[in-house]
Amino acid sequence: MTLIEGVGGGDLAVPAPPASVATRRPATAATGAVVAAAVAVSVGSLVPAGYLVVRGSEAGLARMLEVASEGRTLALLVRSGLLALAVTAASVAISVPVAWLTARTDLPWRRAWVVLTALPLAIPTYVGGYAFVAALGPRGIAQGWLEPLGVERLPSIYGFPGAFLALTLFSYPYVLLTVRAALRRLDPSLEEASRSLGRGRLATFVHVTLPQLRPAIVAGSLLVALYALHDFGAVSLLRFDSFTRVIYTQYRGSLDRSAAAVLGLVLMAVTLALVTAELRTRGSSAYHRLHGGGARSAPPVGLGRWRWPAAAACGLLVAAALLVPLGVIAYWLVRGTTSADPLRLTLDLVGNSLQASALGAVVSLAAAWPVAVLSVRRPGLLASVVERATYVGYALPGIVVALSLVFFGARVAPAIYQTRTLLVFAYVVLFLPQAVGALRASLLQVPPSLEEASRLLGVHPFGTARRVVLPLVRPGALAGLALVFLTCMKELPATLLLAPTGYQTLATQVWGATSEAFFSRAAAPALALVALSAIPMVLLTRGEERQPPRRRPDGR
């Protein structure tokens, strides 16, 4: 039984093997179904790409090449690329130390920091962006506080600095969550061996811990980089001319769909290059193990006199990424209640938001399953093509994906057009990689030999998936659910264009109010949006916290 406990346990009560099965190569029977499902998912994910090709080619090949190779397009690409790079680097720089502090040390109020440092993800950038401008603008709230000190105006945050700051602070948790989860699952005995062989704490971290965290860092970084490429809220409010902003401008200004489509195709090519790079770094390392070495978690490191400075650093991060936006929303709320404006928060809005997002999360997870299984268990050309395809929707600006599904829905599938079905489909196309990534990370740590054992013992492939694999990947599955849920809650363009007519959500309500300057009317729904998105996050991080309880080798 030590074999099973080593990887986290689960329901492994299996019947006795019928003799005949033992001769068959395990798992192959399931492969056909998995492959078919994965291919179907990737075809669905490619709908926006098909649309872009259709619209782009209307302009003719010559014009397409002209737009794609214009100096301006290239300049945009460089600007957006630099932004994505900077945001990703900063996210890693924030996340690795914070993950270590909150997972491995005796940081004061550690449990609270575990939850709080993940929560900025619940803040939509189109709210956070307004908040940053209001708080840190040249004559914003912060300047008001500094006025007595003779500060007439703060340096402008518009452009690169503001977009960088907002994107980093609202997306770093993607890296934090994956790194922290990986850190908790690490086998402390490797680090202990390094220490006992005379390496210092820092050297051990750099040479032993960090390499083991690499897949988690890379996976999280990819999510952050693509987020920075496709996000519209932060770059528009903080006025940084990114690819996405220009694509929006094209659509909004001239309804010039073909030029916008060409830009979309360029952005898609960049994404695929990034995803390919990530696939390359994966290499062939194995991250699972069978022996019982991981059955305990590492003892917390004593921070000594660094305890309070470390807590202060966490505090600073949470203040900037969480308290600033929440403070500004609260200010809107107070301003609104004094002007006797009714709170625009109805049960209907809450219900619609929860319903669409929960469905989006559950269906995304189901769609992610075959993709993740294929990528982990049958790596190869097909798997990498399928996995890349799922990233297409994630990297494209929401408006492009939404319009492509308008095109597809109204012309090909009018029966589901502007129904919840198509809306949920849109969410899956948009956010699938979050579910695939989380699931994949967990699946990597499941030794294939466990599945093979189950198959050898005569359990049907689906039975094996349900009774052996699912319990083992539960943490990843739940993380995927929580991430997709929260991203769907914030989603705007697809919800506006594809939800059933009259189907309003918290996000559309917030957008409608802020776009007409009715900030106080946006406050209550915005607060509800953040609070409800935070719930799965809190459950997730608290569950994560309880996950590696000191399991004892005797199997309890």
Partner 1 sequence: MPNSLRPPVWRRLPVLLVSLALVAAACGSDDGDEPAGSAEGSGADEAGSLTVYSGRSEELVGPLLERFETDTGIGIEVRYGDTAEMAGQIIEEGDNSPADVFYGQDAGALGALSSEGLLAPLDAEVIGVVEEQFRSVDDLWVGTSGRLRALAYNTEAVSEEEIPASILDLTDPAWEGRLGWAPTNGSFQAFVTALRVLVGEDGARAWLEGIEANGVTVYENNVAIVEAVAAGEIDAGFVNHYYRFQLEADGSDMSDVENHYFTDGDPGALVNVAGVGIVEGTDEQASAERLVEYLLEPEAQEYFATETFEIPLVDGVEAAAALPDLTVLEQPDLDLAQLEDLEGTLALLTDVGVL
Taking CB atoms within 8 Å and a gap of at least 24, the contacts of 505-513 are 505/349, 505/352, 505/353, 505/356, 506/349, 506/350, 506/353, 506/532, 507/124, 507/353, 509/344, 509/349, 510/124, 510/126, 510/127, 511/126, 513/344
Complex with partner 1: residue 92 or 489, whichever CB lies closer:
489
Pick 202 or 517: Cβ nearer partner 1? 517
At closest approach, how far in Å is the CB of 23 from partner 1?
30
Number of Cβ within 10 Å of residue 340's Cβ equals 6
Shortest separation between residue 73's beta carbon and partner 1, angstroms: 12
Q: How far is the CB of 135 from partner 1 (least distance, A)?
A: 12
Q: How far is the CB of 438 from partner 1 (least distance, A)?
A: 13
**Residue closer to partner 1, measured from CB, 153 or 207:** 153
Q: Which amino acid is at 75?
A: A
Instruction: Tell me how far, at minimum, the Cβ of 99 lies from partner 1, in Å.
Output: 20
Q: Is the CB of 194 or the CB of 505 nearer to partner 1?
A: 505
Bridge partners (DSSP) of residue 301 are 105
Task: Provide the minimum distance between the beta carbon of 351 and partner 1 in the complex, in angstroms, as a whole number.
Answer: 4
Contacts of 343 (CB under 8 A, 6+ apart): 336, 337, 523, 524
Nearest CB to partner 1, comparing residues 112 and 354? 354
Q: Which is nearer to partner 1, 67 or 182 (CB)?
A: 67
| Cα–Cα separations (whole angstroms), residue 326 to 183, 186, 319, 332, 333 | 30, 35, 10, 10, 10
Cβ-contact 510, 124 below 8 angstroms: yes
Cβ proximity to partner 1: between 25 and 550 the closer is: 550
* Chain mean position to CA 184: 19
Least distance (Å) from partner 1 to the CB of residue 293?
17
CB of 278 to partner 1, least distance (A): 28
The minimum distance between CB 170 and partner 1, in angstroms, equals 17
Nearer to partner 1, 1 or 203 (CB): 1
- Token pair 């802020």 is found at 514
Shortest distance in whole angstroms from residue 415 CB to partner 1: 6
Nearer to partner 1, 222 or 399 (CB): 399
116-150: burial string, b at 16+ Cβ within 10 Å, e else: bbbbbbbbbbbbbbbbbbbbbbeebbbbeeeeeee
Query: Which residues does residue 499 pair with via DSSP β-bridges, in sequence order?
Result: none
Report the C-alpha gap between 311 and 476 in whole angstroms.
Answer: 28
The partner residues of 105 in beta bridges, in order of sequence, read 301
3-state secondary structure of 511: helix
The answer to whether 96 and 179 are in contact (CB under 8 A) is yes
Rounded CA gap, 423 and 432, in Å? 14
Angstrom distance (rounded) from CA 479 to CA 149: 46
Residue number with CB closer to partner 1 (208 or 496): 496
